[in-house]
Amino acid sequence: MTRDFAYQILTKYLKNQNLIKHCLATEITMQALYERLTPPGEYNEQDEEKWGITGLLHDADYELAKGQPEIHGLLLFEKEPNIIPDDVAYAIKSHNYQRTKVQPQSMMDWAITACDQLTGLIVAAALIHPDKKLASITPEFVLNRMKEKSFAKGADRDSIMLCESRLNIPLPEFVGITLRAMQSISQELGL
């Protein structure tokens, strides 16, 4: 599956521009996480693209599953059977594992589960900054907002914290990786 084909699938089912931007943020973050988690000498461009496609498509069925969170992550595969590689499909199904009951297994599964929530929190942090720009916020700013329970209540902090137990990436580093990745496409994100 190519990235262009994955983007066509995304925009076929997802119309909300903010959700599309969220998927773009998650795509670039997944690519950065692939680079961080891949041992030296084992980097593979196709695998990096696969991780990115996982991020791009993870919420493709979000609008279709509205009001039915237990099928979010599963519904896409009823609409598009057999076109998404099995490991990508599994990661997408498992990113909402608390509701779908599809348990994450691989590093890619855990990465999408953790970074999905963090990209949303980072957008919220940028939006409260005076200039509303990703370039103006730091990992420390995001970490301080994360400690505030009333801030971005929808961002599941427990899922974000999986970066430490499941990916062996300390939270400050995880936030830094995600923020830098998102800053690299700030124009596309409108931030």
For helices 171-183 and 17-37, the axis angle rounded to 10 degrees is 120
User: What is the CATH number for 114?
Assistant: 1.10.3210
Query: Are 26 and 39 within 8 A, CB to CB?
Result: no
Rounded to whole angstroms, how far apart are CA atoms 142 and 122?
6
Show the domain range for 69.
3-189
Rounded to whole angstroms, how far apart are CA atoms 128 and 177?
21
pLDDT the model gives residue 71:
93
Q: Which amino acid is at 191?
A: L
Tens-place pLDDT, residues 178-187: 999 999 999 9
Tens-place pLDDT, residues 40-92: 999 999 999 999 999 999 999 999 999 999 999 999 999 988 888 999 999 99
Query: Are 93 and 99 within 8 A, CB to CB?
Result: no
Q: If we measure between CA atoms, which residue out of 61, 114, 118 comes closest to residue 84?
A: 61
Tens-place pLDDT, residues 121-169: 999 999 999 999 999 999 999 999 999 999 999 999 999 999 999 999 9
End-to-end CA distance of the chain: 29
- Indicate the number of domains in the chain: 1
pLDDT the model gives residue 130:
94
pLDDT the model gives residue 60:
97
pLDDT the model gives residue 84:
86
pLDDT the model gives residue 82:
80
